[in-house]
Amino acid sequence: MGSSVSCSWLAALLWLLCLGAEVECNCTDSNIEMAGGEYTLTKNLERGSLLVYNCPDGYYPYPTLTRVCQPSGTWRPAPKKFRPQRCKRVECPDPNVMENGNVSPPQERYFVDNETSYECYSGYLMRGSTKRICLPNGKWSGSTPICSRDSGDVCADPGVPPGASRTGNMFGIDDKVTYTCNGNLFLVGTSERKCQENGQWTGTEPACYYKHTYDTPREVSEAFGSAIKDSLTTMESLNDTQEGRKIRISKSGTLNIYIAVDISESIEEKQFQQARDAIITLIKKIASFTVSPNYEIIFFSSEIYEVVNILDFIDAKVELKKVIKDLESFEIGDRNTGTDLNLAFTKFEGRMAFIKEQAGPERFKEHRHVLIMFTDGAYNMGGSPKPTVERIKNMVYMNHTTEKQTGSRDEFLDIYVFAIGADIFDDDLHPLTVGTGGDHYFRMKDIKELRKTFDEIIDETEVVGLCGLHLDYETTEDKVSRRKRYPWLAFIINKGQKSKKCIGSLVSADFVLTAAHCFTFGDLPENIVIEIEDETGAIEKKVKNYTLHPNYNINSKVDQGVTEFYDYDVALIQLADPIKFSAKARPICIPCTQETSDALKLVGESTCKQQEQLLLKNQRERLNFLTRKSPLVAEKDVHAKLGESRNICIKKALKAPGINATDPTVAVTDNFLCTGGHNGGEHRDHIACTGDSGGAVFKNYELRTVQIGVVSWGTHQLCGSTDGLVESKAESRDFHINLFRMIPFLKSVLGDENQDYAPLKFLKS
Ligand SMILES: *[C@@H]1O[C@H](CO)[C@@H](O)[C@H](O)[C@H]1NC(C)=O
Ligand SMILES: *[C@@H]1O[C@H](CO)[C@@H](O)[C@H](O)[C@H]1NC(C)=O
Ligand SMILES: *[C@@H]1O[C@H](CO)[C@@H](O)[C@H](O)[C@H]1NC(C)=O
Ligand SMILES: *[C@@H]1O[C@H](CO)[C@@H](O)[C@H](O)[C@H]1NC(C)=O
Ligand SMILES: *[C@@H]1O[C@H](CO)[C@@H](O)[C@H](O)[C@H]1NC(C)=O
Ligand SMILES: *[C@@H]1O[C@H](CO)[C@@H](O)[C@H](O)[C@H]1NC(C)=O
């Protein structure tokens, strides 16, 4: 105590004498200890050190959460002997605000583990929880109890959350209710809600938080998870004028994600590292799922450290794997004391303005923006970011927020704030959140769990078996990475009478789809080996049986001048043991199944035809198939000629050896897709090689892959001994079985409900 006094006296004296000469003064540890808890120091007792108090679960530090050691060698706030630092029991907001009912027991204040029960007056109906417990994070368990009478209003009584007051008692269309929090509580969520035509209130129920109230990782995972998933897969209702029914399609727009992490001194280094790791996890998760957003990632204190420039992303100058690497290697060096939160928002505003400039106002309208800020809000430079946030809103909303005809644009901008740090400036931070739908403000006591939280946002087990899901980037150019790009890939080795190598595709846990011509009549299942590398590490899979399309008959048109007739060239191989799905092995989507409709985001009762129209809509439709090439396979680019172009394409079949007919449709029935030749300008399609037979002809739809065809036969052998990426000649064409024409066969095997394997659900029509 004595040294502290003399040191600060000395500092004050020197300051007076020498006009601010630097004096190194340490703080002292007297009176900083806390009964019932402990504290940590970021830099011992040196100046600039941050003292953070910690209490056991169910308690919070009082009267202060943190202290900073100032250059004068004194703590701010200073410890006071008459108000000793201690751990106080966590309190929950007052539940007695409920209308038309009783809360028991009635208490002035409610603490952790206190139980309450709720009852409505007679004539009123209860919604919500009838019993609630005060939880260690300062929130009540369950949901707000509401007692209401059926008044025939459009919207239901929205109730009054604990600790709040509500104004507005009319619940008809366009009626508004507003909430405030009582005492020293602050409001998180929507303070004004409006009753909509559909009977729903806008926004989400607000909650009243104390300084010691926080969100659990599970709450964050659920709330942020559902919100971000919404951004990633936002669907739009469109009227399908031809069919007269409503379909939902995915938005074509671009998603831009801007992430800022506060690395100023008030954030402990450990928290920074946890935030960084969480961001890496989040980016990887997003990458493994649906759209591919553009990223801007910055760290900030009084200046900005830009890890990823979104403009490089948009210009495709930077790859995701490099971003992840840069993030992983980013270290905070010497940190300065200033925090300029506005600078971070200004940076984002600048980037957005540039994107708008580049894209033009029309295309900018298709851009959605998600800002994610990690900070404690303790800015001491640059002023409030609020005006910047308003300008960002204006830029994205394009002055259309309220205009009915143009539609609301508020779904195009979300600002999430993850409030981290020991002492959070809620009053400054909460107003910076923007967006409709779920919560946008997360108050986290501990971000240790944040990485796991993000990991759980998109739960692998939920998606692992989804057809066609694949990684669309490779972290390294190796077998495993490539496998995750084509997790449905199967190699078929037939060691039967004629040794043959084909490619196939996993279409369910039990079946591999390939070409019928990979088999010779009488081949035994035990002579066939399927290679699929799954999580077990084993590659070779045994075959239980195989089934060729019943109409497949290679010799059936010899008398019509077709030596080898490949119509119905499809076969299904049943594996002896089902594949255990993982990121390395999961099925491809095939036409006319419910799962494929889901992958294509067709909602409601969809049809085969809708799928076909979505996947094969152009005269020249780009498709792909695989060929064996180190490190595993390579992708061939082709264009299916459809509509008018198809007739010209299939004519080339007459040039094929073994064909002696004048009408190409004798050999190439309607069941074939035609690819190859020149594709317009300089580019040519690739041509199939012998070993590509049976492989999937596929199309990617966002991160899902749908198989359209099966590689069957071609007019020319251009590959020679070394198979690989060979370009087509002007005359050469390939023909692939169109799976949309094979549905009865696929359904008879894969959709059979009377077997010991799980059937696929096919559409009714
Ligand atoms: C402050 O403490 C550090 C060790 O934590 C010590 O090296 C330094 O000399 C001290 N400064 C003063 C002015 O006491
Ligand atoms: C509520 O919690 C406080 C603090 O733990 C305790 O003293 C009190 O007895 C509890 N009241 C009830 C009704 O459980
Ligand atoms: C779709 O059609 C319905 C009825 O025909 C109409 O009320 C609705 O406004 C249309 N929606 C769109 C997005 O065009
Ligand atoms: C929005 O309104 C402001 C002022 O009213 C105007 O200057 C600006 O050009 C408008 N922006 C758009 C995109 O219409
Ligand atoms: C294999 O499948 C064929 C029909 O494709 C069937 O006739 C035969 O009995 C099956 N063999 C076994 C062992 O299940
Ligand atoms: C081709 O067709 C013509 C007329 O049908 C016939 O004379 C000729 O023998 C056929 N050649 C072959 C190789 O089948």
List, for residues 100-125, the tens digit of each pLDDT value.
999 999 999 999 999 999 999 999 99
Domain annotation covers residue 116: yes
Q: Which pLDDT value is given to residue 239?
A: 38
Coil, helix or strand at residue 492: strand
Top-confidence residue, 284 or 166? 166
Q: What is the 594 CA–ligand 3 centroid distance (Å)?
A: 25
List, for residues 296-316, the tens digit of each pLDDT value.
999 998 889 999 999 998 887
Q: Which pLDDT value is given to residue 437?
A: 63
**In the predicted structure, residue 247 carries a pLDDT above the cut 60:** no
Per-residue pLDDT, averaged over 137-158, amounts to 90
Q: Among 4, 14, 22, 24, which residue has the most ligand 1 atoms within 8 Å of its CB, making it the best to mutate?
A: 24
Give the span between the Cα atoms of 76 and 70, in whole angstroms. 7
Q: Which pLDDT value is given to residue 48?
A: 82
User: How crowded is the C-beta side of 111, counted as CA atoms within 13 Å?
Assistant: 7
Q: How confident is the model at residue 421 (pLDDT cuts 50, 70, 90)?
A: confident
Mean pLDDT is lowest, of 31-35, 135-139, 532-536, 599-603, for 599-603
**In the predicted structure, residue 592 carries a pLDDT above the cut 70:** yes
- If asked whether residues 100 and 71 sit together in one domain, one would say no
Residue 659 to residues 314, 570, 654, 655, 665: CA-CA distances in angstroms? 50, 21, 6, 7, 11
Q: Which pLDDT value is given to residue 473?
A: 58
Examine the fold and report which residue of 89, 122, 137 is the final residue of a domain before the chain moves on: 89
Q: Among 238, 239, 404, 405, which residue has the most ligand 3 atoms within 8 Å of its CB, making it the best to mutate?
A: 239
Q: Whose CA is nearest to atom 5 of ligand 5?
A: 547
- If asked whether residues 250 and 139 sit together in one domain, one would say no
Q: Which pLDDT value is given to residue 569?
A: 98
Per-residue pLDDT, averaged over 202-228, amounts to 83
Q: How confident is the model at residue 5 (pLDDT cuts 50, 70, 90)?
A: very low
Maximum mean pLDDT: which of 36-45, 72-81, 443-452, 570-579: 570-579
Per-residue pLDDT, averaged over 521-528, amounts to 93
Domain annotation covers residue 635: yes
List, for residues 437-483, the tens digit of each pLDDT value.
668 899 987 777 777 777 666 555 456 678 998 876 565 678 888 99
What phi-psi label fits residue 170: left (phi over 0), alpha (psi between -120 and 50 degrees) or beta? beta
Q: Among 524, 545, 574, 745, which residue has the most ligand 5 atoms within 8 Å of its CB, making it the best to mutate?
A: 545
Contact 201, 194 (CB under 8 A): yes
Nearest partner of 274 among 332, 212, 216, judged by Cα:
332
Q: What percent of the chain has pLDDT over 70?
A: 87
Ligand 1: residues with CB < 6 A are 24-26, 44-46
Give the span between the Cα atoms of 127 and 523, in whole angstroms. 66
In this structure, what CATH number is given to the domain that contains residue 20?
2.10.70.10
Q: What is the 737 CA–ligand 6 centroid distance (Å)?
A: 27
Top-confidence residue, 696 or 271? 696
Q: What is the 45 CA–ligand 1 centroid distance (Å)?
A: 8
- If asked whether residues 381 and 490 sit together in one domain, one would say no
Catalogue the active-site residues: 517, 569, 693
Top-confidence residue, 724 or 557? 557
Which ligand is the nearest neighbour of the Cα of 117? 2
- If asked whether residues 275 and 378 sit together in one domain, one would say yes
Q: Whose CA is nearest to atom 8 of ligand 2?
A: 114
Domain annotation covers residue 95: yes
**In the predicted structure, residue 550 carries a pLDDT above the cut 90:** yes
Sign of CA dihedral 209, 214, 216, 217: positive
Domain residues for the domain of 490 are 479-750
- If asked whether residues 77 and 99 sit together in one domain, one would say no
Shortest-distance atom of ligand 6 to CA 563? 14
- If asked whether residues 150 and 223 sit together in one domain, one would say no
Top-confidence residue, 228 or 106? 106
Q: Which pLDDT value is given to residue 288?
A: 55
* Six token digits for residue 209: 């938080």
Top-confidence residue, 437 or 556? 556
* Six token digits for residue 86: 């201690």
One-letter-per-residue 3-state SS of 561-624: CECCCCCCCCEEEEECCCCCCECCECCCECCCEHHHHHHCCCCCCCCHHHHHHHHCCCCEEEEE
User: How crowded is the C-beta side of 250, counted as CA atoms within 13 Å?
Assistant: 21
Tell me the residue length of the chain: 765
Q: Which pLDDT value is given to residue 50?
A: 86
Top-confidence residue, 705 or 451? 705
List, for residues 725-751, the tens digit of each pLDDT value.
899 999 999 999 999 999 999 999 999
- If asked whether residues 498 and 376 sit together in one domain, one would say no
- If asked whether residues 85 and 95 sit together in one domain, one would say no
List, for residues 10-19, the tens digit of each pLDDT value.
555 555 544 4
Per-residue pLDDT, averaged over 700-707, amounts to 84
Q: What percent of the chain has pLDDT over 90?
A: 54
- If asked whether residues 422 and 295 sit together in one domain, one would say yes
- If asked whether residues 328 and 253 sit together in one domain, one would say yes
Which ligand is the nearest neighbour of the Cα of 395? 4
- If asked whether residues 429 and 508 sit together in one domain, one would say no
Q: Which pLDDT value is given to residue 556?
A: 96
- If asked whether residues 186 and 246 sit together in one domain, one would say no
Per-residue pLDDT, averaged over 522-541, amounts to 90
Q: Whose CA is nearest to atom 3 of ligand 1?
A: 46
Which residue's structure tokens are 């009635």?
Answer: 106
Q: How confident is the model at residue 660 (pLDDT cuts 50, 70, 90)?
A: very high
Which ligand is the nearest neighbour of the Cα of 398? 4
Ligand 6: residues with CB < 6 A are 561, 660
Q: How confident is the model at residue 2 (pLDDT cuts 50, 70, 90)?
A: very low
- The dihedrals phi and psi of 640, each to the nearest 5 degrees, come to -75, 130
Per-residue pLDDT, averaged over 222-245, amounts to 53
Q: Which pLDDT value is given to residue 335?
A: 67
Q: Which pLDDT value is given to residue 242?
A: 36
Domains: count for the chain: 4
Domain annotation covers residue 80: yes
Mean residue pLDDT of the chain comes to: 86
Q: What is the 113 CA–ligand 2 centroid distance (Å)?
A: 7
Q: What is the 586 CA–ligand 5 centroid distance (Å)?
A: 25
**In the predicted structure, residue 524 carries a pLDDT above the cut 90:** yes
Examine the fold and report which residue of 38, 61, 89 is the final residue of a domain before the chain moves on: 89
Top-confidence residue, 50 or 168? 168
Domain annotation covers residue 214: no
**In the predicted structure, residue 157 carries a pLDDT above the cut 60:** yes
Domain annotation covers residue 148: yes
Domain annotation covers residue 9: no
**In the predicted structure, residue 684 carries a pLDDT above the cut 90:** no
Give the span between the Cα atoms of 195 and 156, in whole angstroms. 9
**In the predicted structure, residue 602 carries a pLDDT above the cut 80:** no
Q: Which pLDDT value is given to residue 251?
A: 42
89 in contact with ligand 2, CB cutoff 6 A: yes
Shortest-distance atom of ligand 2 to CA 105? 13
Domain annotation covers residue 213: no
In this structure, what CATH number is given to the domain that contains residue 331?
3.40.50.410
Q: Whose CA is nearest to atom 2 of ligand 3?
A: 239
Which ligand is the nearest neighbour of the Cα of 391? 4
Q: Which pLDDT value is given to residue 14?
A: 52
In this structure, what CATH number is given to the domain that contains residue 560?
2.40.10.120
Examine the fold and report which residue of 52, 69, 89 is the final residue of a domain before the chain moves on: 89
Q: Whose CA is nearest to atom 7 of ligand 2?
A: 111
10 Å CB burial of residue 564 (0-12, 13-18, 19+) is middle
Q: Which pLDDT value is given to residue 338?
A: 80
